[in-house]
């Protein structure tokens, strides 16, 4: 067998990793050829073979190529128990560790997140069997790299679990809320009138105003939470907002300038900024109740002029210099990879009872890797996001990113 044929066999058997090792000048071709043939016989299961070389220790493979192990008891043992030849696993076998007993101990409540061997054994279990909370999910195998697996959080005793992607989205949502705070604060400084901020339920209330509400109140700004359905205004754009008694009292007794805040996943239409349809309800009410009193302005991270969309209605930005009061409509979200895209809108979609691994969260407990629902209910999910946002917002309020 020539060198080219040997390299081809190595690639077919163990991919680029094994081929690169075999191509080294210090590898004996004859011994290597025999060893590769033996490996081919020892590892007939293609799925196990792929993971064997993908996750195995290259230093160990190189040592085997230089000094092929005989007999092949160790490789047979790894294969039989679906262990993988990682650095920690091979070291444990050399030291005579009973890996089967260790696995039993882990699953009895003795998992140690700081032990590389424990993590390697659990990663092998994940690759071959999924997780205890998601045994039947065919997509669970090989879904994440070892590096990502090692960064999974410790979730013992927690009822709301965020993964790295959740935290990235929370971070972006917090930056957007901080930007809204700066915009409201700027309006407060420039205005001599009282100021009322309305967070529209759900997105504008839950994920923009609630996390900054105490900061707004500390500056003497009134804050209320109202509800106008974007779904209903999409169906009937002429619909109105029917304010609560509390808000009516503030409007009648304090005559404030007003900021209405919401967000939407659908932030662009025909290349123009799109505000949520719920804004139409507020706009219609202010227009019809007192058409001469209010001037309407709009702000978002990506404004387009002179036109925007509000829901499906194309709207031309207008001026009313004689108006007594301004109503500022804010959409906290915008389109593009730098924004949150209102990813937490419709939060029940994240936590509905589901057999889909995408709706589950992975993490470590005392018994190793497991999959659990992201949260027990919508309220707890939202509360935890808000608390995390508050921590982030405190950082961004003094950062150029939040302005």
Instruction: Output the pLDDT for position 138.
Output: 40
* Buried-state track 240-255, b at ≥16 Cβ within 10 A, e below 16: bbebeeebeebbeeee
d(CA 13, CA 269): 51
Give the pLDDT score at 401.
Answer: 46
Which parts of 43-163 fold into alpha helices (H)?
46-55, 58-66, 73-81, 87-94, 99-105, 116-129, 146-150
**pTM as predicted:** 0.80
The reported pLDDT for the residue numbered 332 is 96
pLDDT given for residue 357 in this prediction: 53
**pLDDT for the residue 344:** 92
In the chain (403 residues long), the average pLDDT of successive 10-residue segments reads 83 90 86 88 92 93 84 87 96 95 97 97 92 54 80 93 91 95 94 96 97 97 97 94 96 96 94 96 93 91 91 90 89 86 87 58 93 90 97 83 44
State how far the Cα of 260 lies from the Cα of 225, in Å rounded to an integer: 10
* d(C-alpha 36, C-alpha 281), whole Å: 72
Asked whether the beta carbons of 13 and 38 are under 8 A apart, the reply is no
């Amino acid at each position: 067998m020539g060198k080219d044929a040997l390299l081809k066999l190595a690639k077919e058997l163990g991919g680029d990793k094994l081929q690169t090792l075999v191509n080294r000048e210090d590898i004996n071709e004859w011994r290597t050829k025999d060893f590769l043939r033996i490996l081919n016989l020892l590892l007939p299961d293609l799925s196990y073979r792929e993971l064997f070389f993908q996750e195995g220790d290259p230093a160990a493979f190189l040592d085997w190529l230089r000094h092929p192990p005989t007999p092949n008891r160790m490789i047979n043992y790894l294969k039989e128990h679906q262990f993988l030849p990682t650095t920690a696993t091979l070291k444990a076998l050399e030291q005579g560790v009973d890996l089967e007993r260790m696995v039993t101990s882990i699953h009895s409540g003795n998992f140690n997140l700081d032990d590389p061997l424990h993590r390697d054994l659990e990663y092998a279990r994940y690759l071959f069997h999924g997780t205890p909370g998601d045994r039947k999910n065919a997509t669970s195998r090989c879904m994440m790299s070892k590096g990502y697996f090692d960064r999974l959080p410790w979730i013992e005793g927690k009822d709301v679990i965020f993964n790295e992607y959740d935290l990235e989205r929370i971070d972006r949502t917090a930056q957007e809320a901080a930007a809204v705070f700066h915009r409201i604060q700027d309006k407060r400084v420039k205005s001599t009138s009282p100021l009322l901020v309305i967070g529209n339920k759900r997105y504008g209330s839950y994920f923009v105003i609630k996390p900054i509400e105490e900061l707004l109140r500390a500056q003497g700004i009134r804050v209320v939470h109202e509800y106008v359905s974007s779904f209903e205004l999409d169906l009937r754009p002429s619909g109105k907002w029917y304010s609560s008694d509390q808000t009516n009292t503030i409007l009648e007794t304090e005559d404030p300038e007003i900021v209405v805040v919401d967000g939407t996943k659908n932030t662009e239409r025909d290349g123009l900024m799109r505000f949520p349809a719920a804004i139409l309800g507020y706009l219609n009410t202010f227009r019809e109740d007192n058409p001469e009193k209010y001037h309407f302005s709009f702000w978002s991270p990506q404004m387009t002029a002179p036109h925007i969309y509000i829901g499906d209605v194309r709207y031309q930005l207008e001026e009313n210099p004689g108006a007594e009061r301004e109503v500022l409509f804010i959409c906290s979200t915008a389109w593009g990879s730098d924004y949150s895209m209102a990813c937490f809108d419709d939060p029940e979609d994240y936590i509905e009872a589901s057999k889909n691994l995408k709706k589950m969260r992975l993490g470590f407990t005392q018994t190793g890797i497991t999959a659990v629902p992201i949260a027990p209910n919508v309220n707890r999910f939202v509360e935890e996001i808000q608390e995390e946002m508050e921590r982030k917002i405190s950082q961004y309020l003094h950062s150029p990113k939040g302005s």
